[in-house]
Amino acid sequence: MIEKICTRGLSREAWDRLRRGSLGGSDAGAALGHSAYSSPFALWCEKTGKLPPQELADKESVRLGIDLEGYVARRFSELSGKKLARVNYMIKNSDYPYAHANIDRRIVGERAGFEAKTSSSREIAAACRAGELPAAWRDQCTHYLMVTGWERWYLAVLCFGQGLYRFVLERSESDIAALAAGERDFWTLVETGAAPQTDGSAATGEALERLYETSEPREADLSAAAPQLKEYERLDTEIRALTERRDACRAAIQQTMGPAERGRYGKYLVTWKSQTTRRFDRAVYEGECGAIPERFFRVTRARPFRMTVQQEV
């Protein structure tokens, strides 16, 4: 059964509560580990309420995407001849209680929807030219097909300075079944409170920093992380060795370049230009003008992670 929940006039708090109760299209890629901007662990922290949703609306790239959504929709309509209509409600499907859909537009006269994307990434532009979509965007469209029960989803991607690329995803029951299974497994973790496995993504790292922002004056027993400690030590040793080899290559290249600011060989272009930087010398200033008032300092918090390997007794 399809349920439509009106979202017009909702407060930000009410909207966040509504979204937290299930997975939306933009959550699908993160839940399955396909997102470049989130991760299963980061998403789990938000859906369980352990962390508030990230304030993405203030990011310039997100704001730009929101502001240009209408333009991308109009260009798609011009190029395709299809009429688009706004959708001011959240869609729920009783067959998938862990999912919801907030779609950009529906296609008038078709059982189909539309998603607008913008990107400044050269990699994404190259993929679009080759007819390929990032996995997270494909997950999002498949999620919408799953929840709405519609037949196809159109997507237009505006790559700044590159072009506008159009795609259409036809309904695939096998793709929907695979996505539904992955989302259901993830939502089980949300309901039980069992955290998904952490990974090395920036999103997971940021979530851990937010979750454990303030350290406590105690010592933890790390026996449960013994395999990771040994692996970290091994990888750290390998990274140092590789860094030394890379730096040796850099030194040889610099020796070959001498005073030249650019060097080229085949596909390789190297720059080594002189530059001058100016930095504020606080010690000199305070020696001549007195201490800087505290109100001019911005306080930041951090928890630097360091591991030392001690000799066993």
Give phi and psi for 73, each to the nearest 5. Answer: -65, -40
Interatomic CA distance for residues 151 and 102, integer angstroms: 17
Do 92 and 3 contact (CB within 8 A), yes or no? yes
Asked whether residue 124 is domain-assigned, the answer is yes
Range of the domain at 187: 2-211
Select from 153, 146, 154, 155 the least CA-distant residue to 179: 146
In sequence order, what DSSP letters do the residues of 36-63 get, joined into one string?
SS--HHHHHHHHTTSSPPP--TTSHHHH
Q: Fill in the DSSP letter of residue 55.
A: -
Q: Specify which residues 80 forms β-bridges with.
A: none
Provide the CA 199 distance to its chain's centre, in angstroms.
14
Asked whether residue 77 is domain-assigned, the answer is yes
The tens place of each residue's pLDDT in the chain, 313 residues long, gives 899 988 888 788 888 888 899 999 999 999 999 999 999 999 999 999 999 876 655 577 778 878 889 999 999 999 999 999 999 899 999 999 999 999 989 999 999 999 999 998 999 999 999 999 999 999 999 999 999 999 999 999 999 988 999 999 999 999 999 999 999 999 999 999 999 999 999 999 999 999 999 999 999 999 999 999 999 999 999 999 999 999 999 999 999 999 999 999 999 999 999 999 999 999 999 999 999 998 888 888 888 899 988 877 5
Whole-prediction pTM: 0.85
Interatomic CA distance for residues 64 and 159, integer angstroms: 12
Asked whether residue 286 is domain-assigned, the answer is no
Interatomic CA distance for residues 109 and 262, integer angstroms: 58
Asked whether residue 277 is domain-assigned, the answer is no
Task: State how many domains the chain has.
Answer: 1
Do 68 and 119 contact (CB within 8 A), yes or no? no
DSSP H stretches of helix in 57-172: 60-80, 122-129, 135-148
The set of residues, in sequence order, having a beta carbon less than 8 Å from that of 135 and lying 6+ positions away, is: 29, 32, 34
Kindly report the CATH number assigned to the domain that includes residue 149.
Answer: 3.90.320.10
